[in-house]
Amino acid sequence: MFNPQKTIELTTGGLTNPQATWESYLGENPGWQRTAMELTVPLALAAIVLGWLLSVILGGFFYYGYGHGPILSLILALVGAAVSVGILSLVVNFFAGMFGGESNFDRAFTSVSLAIIPGWAGIAVSGIPFIGALLQLAGTIVGLVFLYKIIPLALKVPDNKRVVHFIATIITVIVVQMIVGLILGAGAVTTGGGMQLQ
């Protein structure tokens, strides 16, 4: 169930005191559905809406859903966010088991959701002209650093396997995202072509 106070608490803690926030929330052993309702979905929604609004008000560029109307942009951005978080969680979980850690999707999803809080913060301010893109890049980099740090805590990946786990995860996610993008892009081109023929 959505709990705005918990969302604010996790978001604030994830930015100002990440280690303690990670330990506390992971200690609650939330299922992925609870994490999605308390953190992932509301944070993604808030970041995307705020980023889009800032781009409209201030005249900046907002990447998510660019070129579509506001409602379709929001839907596309949320679907893209859900797919990205889901893929990253699956890959983190898969390689955790492969590299001597624990395979537990609930904890993988929770760790990914906690780690990418700075990335969402970057997206929320990305619509600001000139500095928005830099802030989004900074948020993404900090999110990757957080992901590297949280994996052993969440999934007990051994210290001597952390680097290879992280590199394998990032490379795999990039490849999978490219494949998904190509498939969705091909579908859009095919649909577009069909519409033009009619």
- Give the pLDDT band (50/70/90) at residue 52: confident
- Give the pLDDT band (50/70/90) at residue 57: confident
> What span, in angstroms and rounded, lies between the C-alpha atoms of 54 and 132?
10
- Give the pLDDT band (50/70/90) at residue 196: very low
The whole-number average pLDDT for the span 103-119 is 96
Host domain of residue 42: 4-180
> What span, in angstroms and rounded, lies between the C-alpha atoms of 98 and 79?
29
In a domain, 195, yes or no: no
Structural domain count of the chain: 1
Query: Can you read off the two tokens belonging to residue 58?
Result: 């201030």
Task: Flag whether pLDDT at 190 surpasses 60.
Answer: no
> What span, in angstroms and rounded, lies between the C-alpha atoms of 96 and 155?
7
**pLDDT one-digit tens code per residue, 7-49:** 999 999 999 999 999 999 999 999 999 999 999 999 999 998 8
- Give the pLDDT band (50/70/90) at residue 195: very low
Q: What is the pTM of this model?
A: 0.86
Task: Flag whether pLDDT at 63 surpasses 80.
Answer: no
**pLDDT one-digit tens code per residue, 76-108:** 778 888 888 999 999 999 999 999 999 999 999
In a domain, 197, yes or no: no
In a domain, 91, yes or no: yes
Quote the pLDDT of residue 27. 95
In a domain, 185, yes or no: no
In a domain, 192, yes or no: no
- Give the pLDDT band (50/70/90) at residue 191: very low
Mean predicted lDDT score pLDDT of the chain: 86
In a domain, 88, yes or no: yes
> What span, in angstroms and rounded, lies between the C-alpha atoms of 154 and 156?
6
In a domain, 170, yes or no: yes
In a domain, 188, yes or no: no
